[in-house]
């Protein structure tokens, strides 16, 4: 077992401000590289007894240590991230970022409720000088989507939620996605696939990545920019098992890293196919010899 130190380091001296990504390409790249660096700290290698240190530099301005005229740090995140409340997905940590880098919103199931949309609208309107991307981040084994999937597979499980309005709101929004994924899986593999031992798990994981992509599509329509270098919505799924962000993309072999939102219904069809063809989902639905 190796030891990993992750250190936030600031130096209280008047150094030049830490540069921020200049456009959405650079922002996406920084997030993907940050997640790869985080995952690499723990993955692979048999460096038994090794001590690995990761230093994340913090600009003293972002903690208010080098004050400007107002004496307060200026808010300047380069990405807004909507993630699930799940405690196993600490957003700044998994992207290798620090204070004032990310504008983070977390709700169970990372759905687009009115408060979430309002918060994103604030970020887009008030932080446009620094904001380059909006990230929708699901995660594997999401409890909210698991609950929605179980209700879809066994509608009697909806009854306990009947009098819990707030929980129903979360479930109802996710059920549509689960239903769409179930149809996609059945049209690809045939109706008998629902008896496959891996079906429930595959449906959960397909719904998680589809839900994030659907959110990103909605955000792109509402706030995005036609210029690819302008503000863009992207999505992915943080895999608890490998600590990497996963996002199958239509027409691309690359599955690791955040992906830009589908642009239209054709893009969603391509995404659905890419999800079913991904090694992750396909392995759950393999027909045993
Ligand atoms: Zn979750």
| pLDDT value, residue 101 | 95
Cα–Cα distance for residue pair 67/54, rounded to 1 Å: 27
Cα 142 to ligand 1 centre (Å): 4
Ligand 1 geometric centre to CA of 210 (Å): 14
Cα first-last separation, the chain: 37
Helix, coil or strand: residue 54: strand
- How many angstroms separate the alpha carbon of residue 138 from the centre of ligand 1? 7
Residues in the chain: 289
CA contacts within 13 A on the Cβ side of 170? 19
- CA–CA separation, 201 and 65 (whole Å): 48
Residue carrying the six token digits 């991904």: 278
CA–centroid distance, 97 to ligand 1, in Å, is 21
Q: How far is the CA of 178 from the centre of ligand 1 (A)?
A: 14
pLDDT score, position 158:
76
CA of 175 to the centre of ligand 1 (A): 15
- CB environment 99-134: b (16+ within 10 A), e (fewer): bbbbbbbbbbbbbbeeebbebbeebbeebeebbbbb
User: In the prediction, which pLDDT does 225 show?
Assistant: 82
Global pTM value:
0.92
From the CA of 105, how far away is ligand 1's center (Å)? 13
Q: What is the pLDDT, as a whole number, of residue 287?
A: 64
pLDDT by 10s per residue, the chain, length 289: 789 999 998 877 766 667 789 999 999 999 999 999 999 998 866 667 788 889 988 888 888 877 666 678 889 999 999 999 999 999 999 999 999 999 999 999 999 999 999 999 999 999 999 999 999 999 999 999 999 999 999 988 877 877 787 778 888 889 999 999 999 999 999 999 999 999 999 999 999 999 999 999 999 999 988 888 999 999 999 999 999 999 987 555 568 899 998 888 898 888 999 999 898 999 999 865 4
Provide the 8-state DSSP code for 263. -
Q: Are 67 and 11 in contact (CB under 8 A)?
A: no
Q: Cα–Cα distance between 16 and 6 in angstroms, integer?
A: 23
74 SS3 class: coil
Q: Using CA atoms, how far apart are residues 136 and 107, in angstroms rounded to an integer?
A: 11
Answer whether 180's CB lies under 8 Å from 143's CB: no
The closest of 8, 35, 33 to 21, measured between CA atoms, is: 33
């Amino acid at each position: 077992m190796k030891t990993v130190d992750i250190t936030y380091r600031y130096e209280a001296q008047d150094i030049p401000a830490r540069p921020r990504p200049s456009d959405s390409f650079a922002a996406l790249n920084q997030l993907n590289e940050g997640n790869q660096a985080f995952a690499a700290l723990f993955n692979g290698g048999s460096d038994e007894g090794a001590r690995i240190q990761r230093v994340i530099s913090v600009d003293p301005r972002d903690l208010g240590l080098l004050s400007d005229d107002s004496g307060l740090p200026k808010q300047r995140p380069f990405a807004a991230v909507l993630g699930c409340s799940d405690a196993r997905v600490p957003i700044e940590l998994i992207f290798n970022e620090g204070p004032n880098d990310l504008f983070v919103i977390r709700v169970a199931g990372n759905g687009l409720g009115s408060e979430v949309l309002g918060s994103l609208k604030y970020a887009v309107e008030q932080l446009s000088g620094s904001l380059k991307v909006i990230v929708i981040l699901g995660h594997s084994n999401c409890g909210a989507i698991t609950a929605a999937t179980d209700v879809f597979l066994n509608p009697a499980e909806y009854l306990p939620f009947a009098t819990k309005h707030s929980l129903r709101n979360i479930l109802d929004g996710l059920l549509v996605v689960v239903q769409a994924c179930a149809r996609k899986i059945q049209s690809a593999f045939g109706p008998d696939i629902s008896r496959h031992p891996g079906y429930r798990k595959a449906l959960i994981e397909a719904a998680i990545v589809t839900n994030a992509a659907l959110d990103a599509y909605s955000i792109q329509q509402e706030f995005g920019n036609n210029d690819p270098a302008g503000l863009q919505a992207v999505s992915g799924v943080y895999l608890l098992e490998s600590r990497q962000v996963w996002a199958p993309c239509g027409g691309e072999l690359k599955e690791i890293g955040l992906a830009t939102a589908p642009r239209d219904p054709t893009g969603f069809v391509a995404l659905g196919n890419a999800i079913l063809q991904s090694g992750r989902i396909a392995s759950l639905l393999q027909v045993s010899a």
